[in-house]
Amino acid sequence: MTVLGAEFTESRIQDTETRSFYITTPIYYVNDKPHIGHAYSTIIADVLRRYHRLFGEQTFLLTGTDEHGQKVADAARARSLEPQQHVDEMVKNFTKAWEELGIDYDIFMRTTFTFHKDVVGLALQKLFTQGDIYKKEYEGWYSISEEIFYPEKDVIDGKSPSGKPLVRIKETNYFFRMSAYQERLIEYLNQNRGWIYPETRANEVLGFLKQPLGDLCISRPKARLDWGIPLPFDTDFVTYVWFDALLNYVSAIGYMQSNRTKDFSRWWSRVVHLIGKDILIPHAVYWPTMLMALGISLPERIIAHGWWLTSGGGKMSKSEGKVVDPLSMKEVFGVDALRYFLVRGMRLGQDALFDEQEAINRINADLANNLGNLLSRTSGLITKHFEGTIPSVRATLGAASEELAGFAKKTVALVLEQIENYSPDLAMETIMALVTKANQYMNEMAPWKAISSDRDKAAETLWCSLEVMRLAGLLLSPVMPTKMAELMNRLNANLSFSVDSLMWGQLASGSILRVGEPLFPKIEHVETETLA
């Protein structure tokens, strides 16, 4: 990776005012309680959005819930409730969790919103009228829990590829002519290598497309399932959940809504879908072919993250047993430290083992010790020797301070580049390396000694150390919005990205440094609760 200097920082911030950035999370099945995997997707999307907003772009974050389908209907029946009543209650688990985890979304989409149901009807009608949807009798293997039909070749010992029970179903259904778009999709994938991130996932999709793509069954007979959106051209059928759910990404921002055409063209001009690797095929095959058929351009990028695994090596999910409750973890770690750990703890795109002790170690090492220590030792000396006032510095810095300043400038440029490249975990590493460097610099300069022989030198060291805190605080603010706002407040510094604020040397001298409790108290071992 190239390390660019100030010019990069400058161009990154200046050319972005009119750029838009629309990022989506999957819309989660409403029956589940949000666990750490759901929290991860949502926090990463929120973090990326906050960075792009600081870049000066117009940003929009979508999250929400997927509320139709068999499982929801069954769960409602088991509780003797109408499905709508059931989902209205269940959705609160998500809105509450996202509020507590500091998710700043613009829309919380629900597939039961009337305007969404209208858009699904209009899109279906358009595809039906243009001949992209047809009716045929079908017999096949169906997984109720995944709501997917499997062709014979994918059935293993009577189960789905992921081991879910299958039932044999024979019925008449409507199909979307997905196969007609196979060649175009393959060509698109070959010509746009970065479209799916990480690239290994693109190879997976291309591998999948080596087989002839069947047509997609997009209906369910009402006689079997009535909790869904009726097909506009045949009300004996409801819409297949995936077809319904994927369209939320466009209905949310105004597609096929005559009073919102501007919104739609503005947000759809640059779209990033963040998903987990298990839902790659619906997003990288069903969705682009649906978009092609509807005459809508494809999203800019699909980012597929990996899974948080349990210590047994399985995907953390209810069926696998231990599932970590993000809200109970938040109680122990604090929301910002939890967000930091989730961003830092997983290479975006790869799997990671979820280990509570590792989370504690990481938070203690990076936040309580590294960052916390730099702030507390610097603040302590300023209180003691400079009456709590941020000291001023000589016009020319000494060699060690110059070196630190150079390191900080490179850090800023590299962090922006890593965020741009969807590597927030690496960006955290880069920021922490700067903080470590500043702690080493403090050790070498020993301002507690220099104060008696060379007061100006001690002042310079303390100022440079705080300047690193300012830059680190600014760069970490999308991940830890509350704590970093507190930090910037202590430094009397401005919390917005700009060409100036990201440059070395902006910390104002002469103001009073606010001193307070440690920003990140050290965490002792505690067992967090798991979801029942």
* CB of 47 vs ligand MSP, minimal distance in Å: 15
Task: Report the distance separating Cα 418 and Cα 421, nearest Å.
Answer: 5
Beta strands in 376-447, from DSSP E residues, in sequence order: none
Pick 42 or 370: Cβ nearer ligand MSP:
42
Note whether 67 and 91 are within 8 A (CB): yes
Q: Does 38 bind ligand MSP (CB under 6 A)?
A: yes
Pick 245 or 408: Cβ nearer ligand MSP:
245
Torsion sign over Cα 377, 488, 348, 520: positive
Q: Please, which residues have CB within 8 angstroms of residue 449's CB and are 6 or more apart in sequence?
A: none
Q: Does 28 bind ligand MSP (CB under 6 A)?
A: yes
Interacting residues with ligand MSP between 394 and 433 (CB under 6 A): none
Pick 29 or 113: Cβ nearer ligand MSP:
29
Q: Does 503 bind ligand MSP (CB under 6 A)?
A: no
Q: Which residue has the tokens 């970490």?
A: 476
Q: Does 26 bind ligand MSP (CB under 6 A)?
A: yes
In 299-330, which positions are buried (b, 16+ CB within 10 angstroms) versus exposed (e)? Answer: bbbbbbbbbbbbeeeebbbeeeeebbbbbebb
CA distances from residue 161 to 165, 346, 350, 419 in whole angstroms, order as listed? 10, 26, 21, 35
* CB of 96 vs ligand MSP, minimal distance in Å: 16
Q: Does 245 bind ligand MSP (CB under 6 A)?
A: yes
Torsion sign over Cα 383, 367, 490, 500: positive
Interacting residues with ligand MSP between 455 and 494 (CB under 6 A): none
**How many residues touch ligand MSP (CB under 6 A)?**
21
φ/ψ of 301, rounded to 5, equals: -160, 150
**Which of residues 13, 45, 250, 275 is near ligand MSP by CB under 6 A?**
275
Stretch that binds ligand MSP, among 143-151, 260-268, 271-279, 462-470 (CB under 6 A): 271-279
Stretch that binds ligand MSP, among 150-158, 312-320, 356-364, 500-508 (CB under 6 A): 312-320
Q: Does 246 bind ligand MSP (CB under 6 A)?
A: yes
**Which of residues 9, 12, 13, 41 is near ligand MSP by CB under 6 A?**
41
Pick 279 or 397: Cβ nearer ligand MSP:
279
The stretches of 227-286 forming alpha helices (DSSP H) are: 241-246, 248-251, 261-268, 280-281
CA atoms within 13 A on the CB side of 382: 28
**Which of residues 16, 19, 29, 146 is near ligand MSP by CB under 6 A?**
29
Q: Does 322 bind ligand MSP (CB under 6 A)?
A: no
| Cα Rg of the chain (Å, integer) | 26
Note whether 263 and 308 are within 8 A (CB): no
Stretch that binds ligand MSP, among 174-182, 257-265, 315-323, 440-448 (CB under 6 A): 315-323
Q: Does 308 bind ligand MSP (CB under 6 A)?
A: yes
Q: Which residues bind ligand MSP (CB under 6 A)?
A: 26-29, 32, 37-38, 40-41, 66, 245-246, 275-276, 278-279, 307-308, 315-317
